[in-house]
């Protein structure tokens, strides 16, 4: 009988241990502080979206700060619309010309006709380089709207032929 009791005790201990392990395993919450399991789905669904939203918020804040600084500098320089005189810009600025006014660009100046009509001013060929079409424009010929032109020879420019002509200009220029 001792052998039966010993077998019964071992069997009872094994069943008790199995029940205890199963109970503790079911009670433990995966991913909690007691069981710090990190899954790929957690990283992709929760953590990544949290990080990306924080980055987006930071970028939006920084862009707002930069736009405010740019607006302050533009206001301090008197705006971007020029009606006469000289100007220079490393970015495009809007230049408004009246009929008969001429914008003469420095070498490397770029001009794009946005509103109205204008003609190339050049004593000899080439007048302006049409960067959009990959060709040249002779003196007296009309500019095409939304084409980007470059001054490659000193003394070249654009003459307004409409009552109001608006150009985007990047680089040094004079208006006369």
- For residue 64, the Cα-to-chain-centroid distance in whole angstroms is 13
Three-class secondary structure of residue 120 per DSSP: strand
> What per-residue confidence (pLDDT) applies to 143?
94
Ranges under pLDDT 50 in the chain: 80-84
Question: Can you tell me which residue has the tokens 């990047």?
Answer: 170
Q: Per-residue pLDDT tens for 83-99?
A: 445 666 678 888 999 99
Sequential DSSP letters for 61-114: HHHHHHHHHHHHHHHHTT-S-BSSEEE--SS-EEEEEETT-EEEEPTT-EEEEE
Q: Per-residue pLDDT tens for 62-81?
A: 888 888 888 777 766 655 44
> What per-residue confidence (pLDDT) applies to 82?
43
> What per-residue confidence (pLDDT) applies to 87?
61
Residue 45 DSSP one-character state: I
| Domain layout of the chain by residue ranges | 2-74, 85-175
> What per-residue confidence (pLDDT) applies to 119?
95
SS3 content of the chain, % helix, strand, coil (to 5): 35, 25, 35
Task: Provide the CB-side half-sphere exposure for 19 (13 A, CA).
Answer: 6
CATH topology for the 85-175 domain: Jelly Rolls (2.60.120)
> What per-residue confidence (pLDDT) applies to 9?
87
Model confidence, pTM? 0.51
Residues 6+ apart with CB under 8 A from 176: 84, 101, 102, 104
> What per-residue confidence (pLDDT) applies to 35?
60
Three-class secondary structure of residue 156 per DSSP: coil
79, two tokens: 């705006």
Averaged confidence pLDDT in the chain = 83
> What per-residue confidence (pLDDT) applies to 83?
42
């Amino acid at each position: 009988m001792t052998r039966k009791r010993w077998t019964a005790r071992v069997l009872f201990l094994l069943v008790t241990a199995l029940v205890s392990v199963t109970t503790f395993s079911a009670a433990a919450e995966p991913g909690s502080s007691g069981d710090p399991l990190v899954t790929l789905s957690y990283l992709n669904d929760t953590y990544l979206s949290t990080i990306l939203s924080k980055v987006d918020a930071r970028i939006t804040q920084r862009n707002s700060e930069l736009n405010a600084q740019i607006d302050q500098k533009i206001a301090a320089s008197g705006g971007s619309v020029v009606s006469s005189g000289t100007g220079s810009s490393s970015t495009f600025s809007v230049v408004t010309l009246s009929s008969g006014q001429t914008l003469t660009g420095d070498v490397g100046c770029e001009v794009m006709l946005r509103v109205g009509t204008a003609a190339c001013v050049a004593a000899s060929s080439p007048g302006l380089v049409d960067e959009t079409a990959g060709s040249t424009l002779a003196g007296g010929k009309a500019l095409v709207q939304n084409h980007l032109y470059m001054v490659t020879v000193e003394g070249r420019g654009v003459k307004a032929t409409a009552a109001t002509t608006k150009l985007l200009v990047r680089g040094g220029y004079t208006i006369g």
